[in-house]
């Protein structure tokens, strides 16, 4: 709607757009250079409002995966993050239930709404990860699941009659829980992150951070960071995708100081200083989850939800998914890239799974 206030005169930067090559142009673009002032208010900036309304109407999808050994507090953390009973906790399992023999993938979907924004949240749990005696290749089912989601999206996208909005089940973010040993990363952690950092955004998280003192925490974090760097593991936010200086400085700060976030999760409330806070009650005090002095949960929450949620989705869509797609269209077909329609149609998927040697 019209804002009613005419804008002050601005100098519009009228630059010419370079003529672009088109396959069969009716008329090539003629570059025109103009220098003139915008007199009066047009109303172009209302497009922001229009866009916002549209996106609020359609709602958002967000798929988050939690990976870590049993008992590290994954479900509790997810519940704390989204302030609701998103996952059933493992402790509520029947004790007689066996530990799963292989890594299972359990995806649970919820709809949450806040401030008029509807979000379809899917939490993907991986019980059984790292719990066996022999944990070789236990990341494979996870990798397979992630690739399956990409495959599903790709198939939908390649259809002739496409849906208006392709349901997005791709994993946008993977929280990897590091056990707070205080020493360094385990080989399993390194292997997992090495394999998966190329297909999905991994955010390493130090679980049950209340077992470490402040010095131990910072030392541990430094060691973890160093090890990740030495092993060439690019966790989110990836350095190579920083676009401008502003991004770089901000993300550098996060990468070098805060990550991996040392978190504590809880869904119980206690009374502290006259306020009800989420926390863990211990004989020596109450650990407040959202207190920045106690743990970094609030940083994680802000990072994932309040500032980088859309970016997580975008990196997944524009980079990881595109990589998968390019690889998929290139493989077993040897089709020439991008030459006309026939050159880029999906070839059949090979029946034999590729052995993961590395």
Partner 1 sequence: MARPANLFGTRPLVLCRVRREPDPPPAEALGSTPAGGHVAPIKREGVGARSRCRWPRAKAECECSVALTERRGSPAGVCGERPGAAMAVAVGRPSNEELRNLSLSGHVGFDSLPDQLVNKSTSQGFCFNILCVGETGIGKSTLMDTLFNTKFESDPATHNEPGVRLKARSYELQESNVRLKLTIVDTVGFGDQINKDDSYKPIVEYIDAQFEAYLQEELKIKRSLFNYHDTRIHACLYFIAPTGHSLKSLDLVTMKKLDSKVNIIPIIAKADTIAKNELHKFKSKIMSELVSNGVQIYQFPTDEETVAEINATMSVHLPFAVVGSTEEVKIGNKMAKARQYPWGVVQVENESHCDFVKLREMLIRVNMEDLREQTHARHYELYRRCKLEEMGFKDTDPDSKPFSLQETYEAKRNEFLGELQKKEEEMRQMFVMRVKEKEAELKEAEKELHEKFDLLKRTHQEEKKKVEDKKKELEEEVNNFQKKKAAAQLLQSQAQQSGAQQTKKDKDKKNASFT
Binding to partner 1, residues 19-78 (CB under 8 A): 20, 22-27, 29-32, 34, 36-48, 50-62
Q: Which range in 12-20, 211-219, 220-228, 258-266 contacts partner 1 by CB under 8 A?
A: 12-20
Shorter beta-carbon distance to partner 1: residue 40 or 184: 40
Nearest Cα residue to 200 out of 177, 170, 225: 170
Contacts to partner 1 from residues 92-131, by CB under 8 A? 102-120, 122
Binding status of residue 285 toward partner 1 by CB under 8 A: no
Q: Which long-range contacts link 86-93 to residues 24+ away (Cβ below 8 Å)?
A: 86/110, 86/121, 86/123, 87/123, 87/125, 90/127
Q: Which range in 69-77, 79-87, 178-186, 217-225 contacts partner 1 by CB under 8 A?
A: 79-87
Contacts to partner 1 from residues 186-245, by CB under 8 A? 195-196, 198-199, 238, 240-241, 243-244
Contacting residue, 12, 91, 93, 183, with partner 1 by CB under 8 A? 12
Each residue 248-267 as x (binds partner 1 by CB under 8 A) or -, in order, gives --------------------
Nearest Cα residue to 262 out of 230, 311, 217: 217
| Joined tokens for residue 157 | 């996208």
Beta carbon of residue 135, minimum distance to partner 1 (angstroms, whole number)? 16
Residues 94 and 104: beta-carbon distance below 8 Å? no
Shorter beta-carbon distance to partner 1: residue 12 or 181: 12
How much of the chain is helix, strand and coil, in % rounded to 5?
35, 15, 50
Beta carbon of residue 314, minimum distance to partner 1 (angstroms, whole number)? 6
Contacting residue, 143, 216, 219, 227, with partner 1 by CB under 8 A? 143
Nearest Cα residue to 349 out of 323, 322, 334, 331: 331
Give residues with Cβ within 8 angstroms of 228, minimum separation 6: 185, 193, 204, 235
Contacts to partner 1 from residues 146-185, by CB under 8 A? 146-149, 151-152, 155-156, 158-167, 169
Beta carbon of residue 250, minimum distance to partner 1 (angstroms, whole number)? 8
Shorter beta-carbon distance to partner 1: residue 184 or 343: 343
Beta carbon of residue 180, minimum distance to partner 1 (angstroms, whole number)? 22
Shorter beta-carbon distance to partner 1: residue 173 or 179: 173
Shorter beta-carbon distance to partner 1: residue 59 or 71: 59
Pairing, β 269-272 against β 261-262: unpaired
| Joined tokens for residue 343 | 């050159």
Shorter beta-carbon distance to partner 1: residue 52 or 183: 52
Shorter beta-carbon distance to partner 1: residue 183 or 239: 239
CA 176 vs CA 89, 130, 159, 209, 346: distances in Å = 17, 12, 34, 14, 33
Shorter beta-carbon distance to partner 1: residue 181 or 310: 310
Binding status of residue 275 toward partner 1 by CB under 8 A: yes
Residues 198 and 236: beta-carbon distance below 8 Å? no
Distance between CA atoms of residues 110 and 120, nearest Å = 6
Binding status of residue 293 toward partner 1 by CB under 8 A: yes
Distance between CA atoms of residues 40 and 10, nearest Å = 9
Beta carbon of residue 181, minimum distance to partner 1 (angstroms, whole number)? 27
| Joined tokens for residue 355 | 């052995």
Shorter beta-carbon distance to partner 1: residue 40 or 71: 40
Residues 305 and 172: beta-carbon distance below 8 Å? no
Beta carbon of residue 283, minimum distance to partner 1 (angstroms, whole number)? 23
CA-based torsion, 218, 226, 229, 176: positive or negative: negative
Shorter beta-carbon distance to partner 1: residue 82 or 235: 82
Please work out the total of residues on this chain that contact partner 1, with binding judged by CB under 8 A: 167
Identify any residues that bridge with 124 across adjacent strands, giving them in sequence order: 65, 107
| Joined tokens for residue 7 | 């804008």
Beta carbon of residue 177, minimum distance to partner 1 (angstroms, whole number)? 20
* Residue 128 phi, psi dihedral angles, 5° rounding: 100, -5
């Amino acid at each position: 709607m019209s804002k009613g206030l005419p804008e002050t005169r601005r100098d519009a930067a009228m630059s010419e757009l370079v003529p672009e090559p088109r396959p069969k142009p009716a008329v090539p673009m003629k570059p025109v250079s103009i220098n003139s002032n915008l007199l009066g208010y047009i109303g172009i900036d209302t497009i922001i409002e229009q866009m916002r309304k549209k996106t609020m109407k359609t709602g958002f999808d967000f798929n988050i995966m939690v990976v870590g050994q049993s008992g590290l507090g994954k479900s509790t953390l997810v519940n704390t993050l989204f302030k609701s009973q998103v996952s059933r906790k493992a402790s509520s399992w029947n004790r007689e239930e066996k530990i799963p023999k292989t890594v299972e993938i359990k995806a649970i979907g919820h709809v949450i709404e806040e401030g008029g924004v509807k979000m379809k949240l899917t939490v993907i749990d991986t019980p059984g990860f790292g719990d066996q005696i022999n944990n070789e290749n236990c990341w494979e089912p996870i990798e397979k699941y992630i690739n399956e989601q990409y495959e599903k999206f790709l198939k939908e996208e390649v259809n002739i009659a496409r849906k208006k909005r392709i349901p997005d089940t791709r994993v946008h973010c993977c929280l990897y829980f590091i056990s707070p040993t205080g020493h360094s990363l385990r080989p399993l952690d390194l292997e997992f992150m090495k394999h998966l950092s190329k297909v999905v955004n991994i955010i390493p998280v130090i679980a049950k951070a209340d077992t470490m003192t402040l010095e131990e925490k910072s030392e541990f974090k430094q060691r973890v960071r160093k090890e990740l760097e030495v092993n060439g593991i690019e966790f989110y936010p990836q350095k190579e995708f920083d676009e401008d200086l502003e991004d770089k400085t901000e993300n550098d700060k996060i990468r070098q100081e805060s990550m991996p976030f040392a978190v504590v999760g809880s869904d119980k409330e206690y009374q502290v200083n006259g306020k009800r806070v989420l926390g863990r009650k211990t004989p020596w005090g109450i650990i407040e989850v959202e207190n920045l002095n106690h743990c970094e949960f609030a940083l994680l929450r802000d990072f994932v939800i309040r500032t980088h949620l859309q970016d997580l989705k975008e990196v997944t869509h524009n980079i990881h998914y595109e990589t998968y797609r390019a690889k998929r269209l290139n493989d077993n077909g040897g089709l020439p890239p991008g030459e006309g329609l026939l050159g880029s149609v999906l070839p059949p998927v090979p029946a034999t799974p590729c052995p993961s040697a590395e």
